[in-house]
């Protein structure tokens, strides 16, 4: 596991084993000049000479490790290229390059089992943010880079690299210290959620998800409630029960609440889909489509992780997470096609596919949010539709909302955090897709309308009457994202950074 700490000054006297620098295509252009020059003149051979010899020009994704002597002690200089950083457009893309570069450097530390390193970032303005924001984002990126799911790898788990990464910044600046600490909190909560998501359905059962949520609640003094199957039935949650009853493993609806000091703070509800395994139910998935369905609780993981962060940071915002958690199984007690269910708000739906189970459990959770918390804003997050992964791929979470202002805000926070969203339309024309002759609505869109991600959002919209609302479909972003090194192999923690910053933006 990585341990991130602020580097005491002077940075070059830290007796570390390695120094990490970032370099744009024009060498010496962006690195911390003071640190770089000091080291450069004390190192033999000089870094600049070695770079010239190795033709290291700071190109994008170019990395070089230089072994040298610094004041007689052997050290490694890890230089990471950022490419051309002079462009004033797309600063978020250069910032993303920095996250990935940091991950590349950390991977070198791991591979060579280098115990300690100082990392020095270029001037924040290159990345279009203040230094505190940059420090925060990079401490998150460092922790995300280090995450791996090795719990069950007997050979690997005890041999994990335990290194220390010292961040070079002015520790007498309280703003920077706070930003750094915030990043650590966000990063650690993200890793915890990724572990929950990565754990398979036989271990991360509905009750185990609840137990994790309870632990987090206790750590931060959040109120914790878990409604069981019977409670859900008593509340008239026909959608949730139709899914939950198919499994031997009883599910629950977990509610975490954070109450701020301030009394008139805005109320935000986060609702996250928690299907611990999605077989499709009696509308059974073919086995190749069942691949990855242990990740179908990533929405719940994300809202629980966000509460973990909110509980630690304690902003002046009233935040509630509601996670309906169940396992979607075929069985003698499972729902079938053509079943009609009645939700908590009295609306009815015909089940055209038991594999469209996420919207059934979310519907009741949304009703519950509105009825008991009267929130100003609801954000729901779910691995809801395969269609979303097809249309947007792995780099953008699908965003659907009737609220233009929310859309703009979430889009720009996506660019800020790297946890990106792309809006899909919600025109009324799509509503006809979920019409039914036998119930108020159907749980799948008619094939004539296509756009399964959008029609799913219309289904959900039936259960939000008063609050401003946005729906995030993380089917493509929650796991197995290719080509982004700091997101690793399995779960990514999609939506956590985004929802956290969204909530913090209301802190007053
Ligand atoms: N969990 C799936 C969605 C999913 C698919 C997430 C692939 C990640 C990767 C969801 O419950 C589901 O099965 N949705 C159906 C909906 C359809 C029956 C309308 C789908 O996408 O096929
Ligand atoms: Mg899981
Ligand atoms: Zn499904």
pLDDT digits (tens, 9 = 90+) for 155-209: 887 788 999 999 999 999 999 999 999 999 999 999 999 999 999 999 999 999 9
> From the CB of 146, is ligand 1 less than 6 Å away?
no
- Give CA–CA dist 17/161, Å, rounded: 14
How many Cβ atoms from other residues are within 10 Å of residue 405's Cβ?
A: 9
Q: Is the CB of 355 under 6 A from ligand 1?
A: yes
Q: 340, 344, 331, 329: which is closest to 240 by C-alpha?
A: 344
Percent of the chain with pLDDT over 70: 98
pLDDT of residue 172: 95
Question: pLDDT tens across 47-102, in order?
Answer: 888 888 888 888 888 999 999 888 788 999 999 999 888 877 789 999 999 999 99
Cα angle: 417, vertex 35, 82; to 5 degrees: 40
What pLDDT band is residue 26 in, cutting at 50, 70 and 90? low
Ligand 2 midpoint to CA 239 (Å): 21
With pLDDT > 90 as the criterion, what percentage of the chain qualifies? 85
Q: Catalytic residue at 182?
A: no
Give the pLDDT confidence score for residue 31 in this predicted structure. Answer: 52
Q: Across residues 279-296, what is the average pLDDT? A: 98
- The CATH architecture assigned to 189-504 reads 3-Layer(aba) Sandwich (3.40)
2 lines ligand 1 (CB under 6 A): no
Q: Which of 285, 347, 423, 468 is catalytic?
A: 285
Q: pLDDT per residue over 111-156, tens digit each?
A: 999 999 999 999 898 899 999 999 999 999 999 999 999 999 998 8
Q: Which position among 100, 229, 249, 359 bears the catalytic label?
A: 359
394 pLDDT tier (thresholds 50, 70, 90): very high
- pLDDT given for residue 146 in this prediction: 98
Average pLDDT of span 413-442: 98
Indicate whether 445 pLDDT > 60.
yes
Strands 377-382 and 468-473: parallel
Specify the 3-state DSSP secondary structure of 378: strand
Q: What interhelical angle do 298-313 and 496-504 show, nearest 10?
A: 40
Q: What is the pLDDT of residue 38?
A: 75
pLDDT, tens only, 236-248: 999 999 999 999 9
In the reported structure, the alpha carbon of residue 204 is separated from the centroid of ligand 2 by a whole-number distance in angstroms of 6
Q: At 40, is the pLDDT very low, low, confident or very high (cuts 50, 70, 90)? A: confident
- What is the residue with the minimal CA distance to atom 16 of ligand 1? 356
Residue 473 CB less than 6 A away from ligand 1? no
**Residue 197, ligand 1, Cβ within 6 A:** no
Q: Is 359 noted as a catalytic residue in this protein?
A: yes
For residue 30, pLDDT over 70 is answered with no
On the question of a cis peptide bond just before residue 45, with omega within 30 degrees of 0, the verdict is yes
Residue 385 gets the label, from left (phi > 0), alpha (psi -120 to 50) or beta, of: beta
Q: What is the pLDDT of residues 334-375, one digit of tens each?
A: 999 999 999 999 999 999 999 999 999 999 999 999 999 999
Nearest ligand to residue 296 Cα = 1
pTM of the full predicted structure? Answer: 0.97
Average predicted confidence (pLDDT) for the chain: 95
Closest by Cα among 311, 151, 326 to 215: 311
Q: How far is CA 423 from CA 85, 300, 349, 402, in A?
A: 28, 21, 26, 10
Range(s) within the chain of domains with CATH label 3.40.630.10:
189-504
Could you tell me the distance, in angstroms and rounded to a whole number, from the CA of residue 316 to the centre of ligand 1?
36
Q: Is 383 exposed, middle or buried (0-12, 13-18, 19+ CB in 10 A)?
A: buried
* Secondary element (H or E) of residue 312: helix 298-313
Quote the ligand 1 centre to 235 CA distance (angstroms): 27
Cα 393 from Cα 388, distance rounded (Å):
7
**Where are the domain boundaries for CATH 3.40.220.10 in the chain?**
3-172
Q: Is there an atom of ligand 1 within 6 Å of 356 CB?
A: yes
Match domain 3-172 to its CATH number in 3.20.20.70, 3.40.50.300, 3.40.718.10, 3.40.220.10: 3.40.220.10
């Amino acid at each position: 596991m990585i341990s991130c700490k602020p580097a005491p000054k002077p940075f070059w006297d830290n007796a570390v084993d390695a120094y990490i620098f970032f370099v744009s295509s024009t060498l010496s252009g962006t690195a911390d000049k003071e640190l770089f020059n000091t080291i450069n003149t004390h190192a033999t051979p000089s870094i600049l000479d070695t770079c010239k010899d190795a033709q290291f020009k700071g190109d994008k994704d170019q990395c070089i490790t230089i072994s040298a002597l610094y004041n007689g002690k052997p050290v490694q200089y890890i230089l990471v290229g950022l490419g051309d950083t002079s462009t004033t457009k797309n600063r978020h893309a250069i910032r993303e390059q920095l996250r990935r570069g940091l991950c590349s450097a950390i991977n070198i530390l791991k591979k060579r089992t280098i115990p300690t390193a100082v990392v020095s970032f270029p001037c924040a303005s290159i990345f279009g943010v203040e230094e505190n924001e940059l420090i925060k984002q990079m401490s998150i990126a460092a922790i995300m880079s280090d995450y791996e799911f090795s719990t069950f790898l007997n050979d690997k788990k005890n041999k994990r690299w335990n290194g220390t990464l010292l961040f070079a910044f002015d520790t007498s600046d309280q703003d920077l210290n706070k930003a750094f600490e915030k990043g650590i909190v966000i990063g650690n909560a993200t890793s915890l959620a990724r572990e929950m998501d990565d754990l398979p359905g036989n271990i991360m059962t509905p009750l185990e998800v609840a137990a994790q949520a309870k632990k987090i609640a206790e750590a931060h003094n959040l109120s914790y409630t878990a409604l069981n199957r019977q409670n859900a039935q008593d509340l008239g949650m026909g959608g949730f029960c139709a899914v939950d009853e198919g499994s031997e493993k009883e599910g629950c609806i977990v509610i975490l609440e954070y109450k701020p000091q301030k009394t008139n703070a805005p109320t935000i509800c986060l609702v996250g889909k928690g299907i611990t395994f999605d077989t499709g139910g009696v509308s059974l998935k073919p086995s190749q489509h069942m691949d990855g369905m242990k990740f179908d609780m990533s929405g719940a993981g994300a809202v629980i992780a966000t509460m973990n962060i909110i509980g630690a940071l304690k902003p002046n915002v009233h935040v509630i997470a509601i996670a309906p958690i169940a396992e979607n199984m075929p069985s003698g007690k499972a729902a079938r096609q053509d079943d009609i269910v009645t939700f908590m708000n009295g609306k009815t739906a015909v089940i055209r596919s038991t594999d469209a189970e996420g919207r059934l459990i979310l519907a009741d959770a949304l009703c519950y949010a509105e009825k008991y918390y009267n929130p100003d804003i609801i954000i729901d997050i779910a691995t809801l539709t395969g269609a979303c992964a097809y249309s947007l791929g792995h780099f953008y979470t699908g965003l659907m909302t009737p609220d233009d202002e929310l859309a703009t805000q979430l889009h720009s926070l996506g660019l800020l955090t790297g946890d990106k969203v792309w809006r899909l339309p919600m025109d009324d024309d799509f509503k006809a897709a979920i019409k039914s002759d036998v119930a108020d609505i159907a749980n799948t869109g008619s094939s004539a309308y296509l756009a399964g991600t959008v029609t799913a959002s219309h289904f959900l919209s039936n259960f939000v009457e008063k609050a401003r609302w946005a729906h995030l479909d993380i089917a493509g972003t929650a796991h197995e994202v290719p080509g982004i090194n700091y997101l690793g192999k399995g779960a990514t923690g999609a939506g956590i950074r985004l929802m956290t910053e969204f909530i913090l933006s209301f802190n007053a």
